[in-house]
Amino acid sequence: MKLKLLLTTLLFTVFAFAQKGTVKGTITDKEMNNEPLPFASVTIKGTTIGANTDEKGTFSLSVPEGNHILMIAFLGYQTVEVPFKIASGETKTIDKALGTAGVQLEDVVLKIETNRQKESALLVEQKKAIEIKQSIGAQELSRKGVSDVATAVTKTTGITKQEGSGNIYVRGLGDRYNSTTMNGLPIPSNDPEKKNIRLDIFPTDIVEYVSIDKVYNGKTSGDFAGGNVDIVSKDYKGKGF
C-alpha cells in the first residue's frame, strides 16, 4: 500500500513538471546603451510567480503552460507588460529594454505679495522704476507722525504745501498743473473752482503708500505738468457689513 502511494506521488510530480515551461531573458537599460539592468522585478501577472534579475540582468521563471503576461518593472522606469504563450516543456526567451518613466508634475503657482507700507520695499521699487517717481509708505508716515495725505506728500522732494490749506505745489506748479488719483483712478475735485481734491481730507490711516509721478508715463493721463499724486489705499481684511 505504501509503495503504491509513493509511486502515485512520483507520477503526479513528474506529470506536474511536464506541464510547465520556462521563460527566460535579459532586461537592459535603454537609457544606458542597453546595459544590463540588475534587480528589476519580473513577475507573471495574476500569479505569485516572480523573481528579480541578477547582476547581469538575466532571469528565468518556471511557468505553467498556457497564455500569460510577463510584467517587468523597476523604480523610475516604465513598467512593461509582454503577453506570451508557452507550451509544456518549452523554453521561451524574452529580452526587453526599459526606458525611464516621464513624470508630469502639476503646475505650481507662486504668489508673492509685496508689503509697500515698508520703506525698504518702496525704495527697491523706486530704484527699479523706469520713470521718475517717489513714494512714501504707511511705515514712514507713522514714524514721522503724519496724519493726512497733504502733509505726507510734503515729506518727498520738490513738493510744498500752502499754509492753512490743502493745496500743494509740485516743483513750484500749483493746482491746475497737477492731478490726483486713487488706486490709479482719477478723483473728482470737491471744490468746483479747483481741479484737484483737497488732500488733507484723506487720513493716513487708510493709506498703504502715496506715490508721486513727476513725468509722463503710460499709466497716467497727460493733463499734468507738475506731478500726479496717486493715493493707494490699504486692503480691507475685516468682515463686510
Average pLDDT per block of 10 residues along the chain, 241 residues long:
53 55 94 91 94 94 93 92 92 92 71 58 62 77 84 84 77 85 88 85 87 76 80 75 53
pLDDT confidence of residue 172: 83
pLDDT confidence of residue 142: 82
Instruction: Identify how many contiguous H helices and E strands the chain contains and give both numbers.
Output: 4, 16
pLDDT confidence of residue 14: 46
Domains of the chain: 19-98 (2.60.40.1120), 119-233 (2.170.130.10)
pLDDT confidence of residue 195: 86
Task: Please tell me what DSSP assigns to residue 163.
Answer: T
CA distances to 48, 138, 151, 185, 207 from 203, in Å: 78, 11, 10, 18, 7
Vertex 100: Cα angle to 96 and 102 (nearest 5): 135
pLDDT confidence of residue 132: 66
Give the global pTM: 0.46
Whether 180 contacts 221, CB under 8 Å: no
